[in-house]
Amino acid sequence: MIFCLNNAPFFLLLLLLPSVYATSLLRHGNETDQLALLDFKNKIISDPLKIMDSWNQSIHFCNWFGVTCSPSNGRIITLKLSTQNLVGTITPSIGNLSFLSGLDLRNNSFNGEIPQEIGRLTRLQSLNLTNNNLGGKIPTNLTNCRELKILALEMNELVGEIPFELSLLSTKLLVMGLGRNYLTGRIPSWIGNFSSLIRISLALNNFHGSIPQELGKLSKLEFFQLYGNQLTGMIPSSIYNISTIYYFSVTQNHLHGNLPHDVSFKFPNLKVFAGGVNSFTGKIPSSLQNSSALQVLDFAENLITGNIPIGLGRLQNLYRLNFDDNKLGTDLEFLASLVNCSSLEVLGLGGNMFGGSLPSFITNQSNKLQRLTLGSNLLSGNIPDGIGNLFNLNLLGLEGNQFNGTIPYDLGKLRNLAGLHLNYNRFSMSIPSSLGNLTKLTRLFMEENLLEGNIPLSLGKCIDLQVLNLSSNYLGGSIPKEIVGLSSLSISLSLANNLLTGSLPFEVGKLINLKELHISGNKISGEIPISLGSSISLERILMNNNLFEGKIPQSIQNLRGLIQLDLSHNSLSGEIPRFLEEIRALESLDLSYNDLNGEVPTRGLFLNSSRITLVGNDNLCGGISSLLLPACPVKKDNSSRNFFSRRTIVIVVVVVVLSAALFSGIIFCILKRTKKTTLNSSSEENVGISYQELLRSTNGFSTDNLIGSGSFGPVYKGSLPNDGTVVAVKVINLQQNGATKTFIDECEALKSIKHRNLLKLLTVCSSVDHQGNEFKALVYDYMFNGNLDEWLHSKDQNKRLNMKQRLEISMDVAHALEYLHFYCETPIVHRDLKPSNVLLDQDMTAHVGDFGLASFVLEESKNLSVSEGLKGSIGYIAPECGLRVNVSTFEDVYSYGILLLEMFTGKRPTDELFKDGLDIHSFVAMALPEKVMNVIDPSLLLEEKIDMDNARVMEERLVAVINIGLSCSNSLPRGRMDMKIVTNKLHDIIDSFNKFHNTTKVS
């Protein structure tokens, strides 16, 4: 007792020691958490919403945005930063938040790999990284997260197989979301061990093999999504024992077999049942009529037989019923029962074997109906009166049947109709003028019928029409100028094989976006209008079997993208124009059975007899030997008498040429002294045109030929005197400081590079003008569609770019930069990429031009000042260009990112909207992903005519493209992707876009 009293301080110390130790640990743990968050912040390279501003030392980290701490120990338990438009990488320090139970970073733009250190978070219950740009493989260390209930990694760029280590996760797992990645291999059977799983999504990957039977053990599963893979075999019967499923989608695989007849009893909660684009057989289970919650029933593109069960009319919530492209029959009497489906928006029955007439009660279907497809069946009779009652229809497909009678005037009431397919039937009488009321119509197909009378002028009111096909009918009269004046026509105008007379209206020149003009097999007469040369997008002109006369107009040389030209079986005269040799895209030329004469050209496609047809022109001669034409008569000359005079002329010409060459060489040597590395003096390509020739080709540098003005001088349109090639001549203003250096730099950059998406330098001129002043000019291929800036910011309604065009131009520019950065002998940095330097040829292919500021990456630039190193245009210059002078390809990547954002928002980076710290990057980043449509160029949305079926897909593609733009325009070079990655990503987006738009079946 004495001992205890005498040592009381020591005894109290022993009692307090655990508390002191615990406090020390707590303080240390808090410091660890704070340091981990600060490291997380350091890895963020773009924070447009400024949420990281709260992450500072003046506020306790438990009060930082998105952070939640435990009230008992002050340790971080959740980090939620979803949908904040953050760009960066996920720091490995995240693994130090040892008390973390929830990590939610979905809907941002994190890139790089998922750090293995996440596997150290043994208390983690929810990991949601959905909709980022994360790549690499799924971390195997996640196996240590034994408390994990939610694993959501969808919509990223993950690769490889699902690692076996995930099989060791806790059976408490509720959600496994791995869809929309690039995962491969088979679906592991061990997934069936996660007995608590309620949601599994493996859609849109590259899984192959069969669906494991073991998945049938997931007795609590509600959401089952495997669409868009390469799965084979039958759906395991065990799956149908999961009575909790309400969403079931296996669309777009290679599955087969019958659907169970009692599916509604096996899936009593079913809302979505989708298995389109497979090989399912058998009949539609009649038990589906008991699935009262069913909203979507879609098994398009299979081998299903029988008829539609009448009982499906009981499904009050059904809004999509799609069995397009199966083997269903026999009649459509079941449609009477579908009248009760008051929510129905999509009814797809095309491509089956339904026969008989179209029942009148089709007109009583839901007034919400937007898509009705009955094409490619065996239907006959008339279209019932009252079809106009379906006033919300966006698509009506009745093609490929045996309908007869007249086309109902009532169709004119379908004011929302975008697609009308009445082709390949037996409709007779005239086309109703009421179709002119369909002002939203973009596609009108009426070919292969028995229609007669005139083409109604009212169709000229369909100002959004892109495709018009009235071919193979008995239509007469002249072609209305109102039709050929529809500048919206961008795909095809086909009036072939009718009884049309008169001339081709001059207004045909307004079809500047049209790809195909098909008017063959009529009685159209007169001359081919010269205005046809204004339809610069034309790829196919089919005008054969008419009564055209006169010469082939010279203006056709403007159609540089022309692939096929058929003018056969007319009465054309004169010689075959030489410009046809120069249209490089031309693959097929048929001029047979006309009255053409003279010598046949021997260059271009005329070198291949399989690509040209000239028979039936008795006065042609020459050409290649395989054409078997007679030789052209040789013109007589007094060769012996004029021998000496010709010899004198030759001598004079040689002297003049040598003198010119010597003078050019002197000028060239003077230029060479201004820079160590410059043009190769032996290059004839770059010193091949004189001042006098350029003067003639541009009509004396007339203001009428002025097409623009660059940084260092005006640009003129010209026509080379030797072959008529249309060119653009950039005259260098030598009075401007640095102009001579720019001339040399551009020649140096372009002399050894060649790519389809780079503006081709044809030749240069380095001479003196008539006043003896130094003269320099660069001569390029002429770009018939101007530059990208004109298309993005034009007030001309005819200058609009649709989604496909913008994607293709984006890819063209990306390919050009990829070539410059990776495939030149010495990498080249353009340093002035902007829309006005992206030129568009006749087929809207993009070419990057203006290399006056280009630099070689390996150039020594240590002596440059900052001002000399700062090159480019305001708004497009990378931020680091003002801080250093080392040339980097990432300068171009930044400019490309800004250009990409401008292309899809329609706003310049110098727009007056961008001030007070707001720029185009942050403006767009703040809108992603939910509000992306709010910042998209309105003219793009007008061009696309987005309907409910493709709005979601369109939005996904836009988000993907915008994310590329944001990544490329990152303020830090290390946060930007290189152009190889850009082209790969764009390739995937374009493939996905084309795949979707090339099919009418969407899961």
DSSP 711-748: TTEEEEEEE-TTT--EEEEEE--TTSTTHHHHHHHHHH
DSSP state of 486: -
Of the residues 298, 781, 832, 937, only one is catalytic, namely 832
Mean pLDDT score across all residues of the chain: 85
Q: The dihedral of CA 521, 524, 529, 531: what is its sign?
A: negative
The DSSP H or E segment spanning 944 is: helix 938-944
547 neighbors 852 (Cβ within 8 angstroms): no
Question: Cβ atoms within 10 A of the Cβ of 778, count?
Answer: 29
pLDDT for residue 28 is more than 80:
no
The residue type at 767: S
> Span 386-394, mean pLDDT?
93
> Span 278-282, mean pLDDT?
94
Confidence at residue 944, expressed as pLDDT on a 0 to 100 scale: 60
Residue with tokens 């008995």: 474
pLDDT for residue 740 is more than 80:
no
Pull the structure tokens for residue 591: 């001029």
Q: In 3-state terms, what secondary structure has residue 443?
A: strand
264 neighbors 289 (Cβ within 8 angstroms): yes
> What is the tens place of the pLDDT at every residue in 679-718?
333 333 334 688 888 888 888 888 888 887 766 778 889 9
Confidence at residue 229, expressed as pLDDT on a 0 to 100 scale: 92
Residue 20 sits at φ, ψ, to 5 deg, of: -65, -40
Q: The dihedral of CA 943, 948, 949, 953: what is its sign?
A: positive
Q: Please tell me the distance from the alpha carbon of residue 847 to that of residue 560, in angstroms, as a whole number.
A: 15
Confidence at residue 650, expressed as pLDDT on a 0 to 100 scale: 46
> What is the tens place of the pLDDT at every residue in 872-904?
678 888 887 755 456 788 999 999 999 999 999
Confidence at residue 881, expressed as pLDDT on a 0 to 100 scale: 76
DSSP string, 618-629: TEEEES-GGG-P
Query: Are β-strands 378-381 and 87-89 bridged in parallel, bridged antiparallel, or unpaired?
Result: unpaired
Confidence at residue 997, expressed as pLDDT on a 0 to 100 scale: 67
Confidence at residue 568, expressed as pLDDT on a 0 to 100 scale: 96
Q: Please tell me the distance from the alpha carbon of residue 713 to that of residue 734, in angstroms, as a whole number.
A: 8
Distances, alpha carbon 761 to alpha carbons 62, 732, 778, 963, in Å:
62, 14, 7, 34
pLDDT for residue 126 is more than 90:
yes
Spell out the domains of the chain, with CATH numbers in brackets.
2-183 (3.80.10.10), 430-631 (3.80.10.10), 662-781 (3.30.200.20), 788-997 (1.10.510.10)
Cis previous bond, 633, omega within 30: no
Confidence at residue 33, expressed as pLDDT on a 0 to 100 scale: 92
Confidence at residue 7, expressed as pLDDT on a 0 to 100 scale: 53
> What is the tens place of the pLDDT at every residue in 155-196?
998 999 999 999 999 888 999 999 999 999 999 999 999 999
Confidence at residue 751, expressed as pLDDT on a 0 to 100 scale: 66
Task: Give the whole-number percent of the chain exceeding pLDDT 90.
Answer: 56
Confidence at residue 19, expressed as pLDDT on a 0 to 100 scale: 45
| Contacts by 92-96, CB closer than 8 A, 24 or more apart | 92/116, 92/117, 93/35, 93/36, 93/39, 93/40, 93/117, 94/36, 94/40, 94/118, 94/121, 95/119, 95/120, 95/121, 96/32, 96/33, 96/35, 96/36, 96/120
Look up 832 and say whether it is catalytic. Answer: yes
Q: Please tell me the distance from the alpha carbon of residue 961 to that of residue 696, in angstroms, as a whole number.
A: 46
Least confident of 122-131, 328-337, 592-601, 686-695: 686-695
Confidence at residue 681, expressed as pLDDT on a 0 to 100 scale: 32
pLDDT for residue 434 is more than 90:
yes
| Surface-to-core class of residue 129, CB atoms within 10 Å of its CB (0-12 exposed, 13-18 middle, 19+ buried) | buried
Band (981; pLDDT cuts 50, 70, 90): confident
> What is the tens place of the pLDDT at every residue in 812-861?
999 999 888 887 777 888 888 999 899 998 889 999 988 767 676 644 33
**Report field, pTM of the whole predicted structure over 0.75:** no
Confidence at residue 132, expressed as pLDDT on a 0 to 100 scale: 92
| Surface-to-core class of residue 638, CB atoms within 10 Å of its CB (0-12 exposed, 13-18 middle, 19+ buried) | exposed
Confidence at residue 651, expressed as pLDDT on a 0 to 100 scale: 46
Band (863; pLDDT cuts 50, 70, 90): very low
Confidence at residue 852, expressed as pLDDT on a 0 to 100 scale: 65
Q: Please tell me the distance from the alpha carbon of residue 399 to that of residue 446, in angstroms, as a whole number.
A: 8
Confidence at residue 704, expressed as pLDDT on a 0 to 100 scale: 82
DSSP state of 556: G
Taking alpha carbons only, the member of 962, 818, 894, 988 closest to residue 135 is 988
Q: Please tell me the distance from the alpha carbon of residue 575 to that of residue 763, in angstroms, as a whole number.
A: 30
Confidence at residue 926, expressed as pLDDT on a 0 to 100 scale: 84
> What is the tens place of the pLDDT at every residue in 295-350?
999 999 999 999 999 999 999 999 999 999 999 998 999 999 999 899 999 999 99
162 neighbors 189 (Cβ within 8 angstroms): no
Confidence at residue 177, expressed as pLDDT on a 0 to 100 scale: 95
| Surface-to-core class of residue 850, CB atoms within 10 Å of its CB (0-12 exposed, 13-18 middle, 19+ buried) | buried
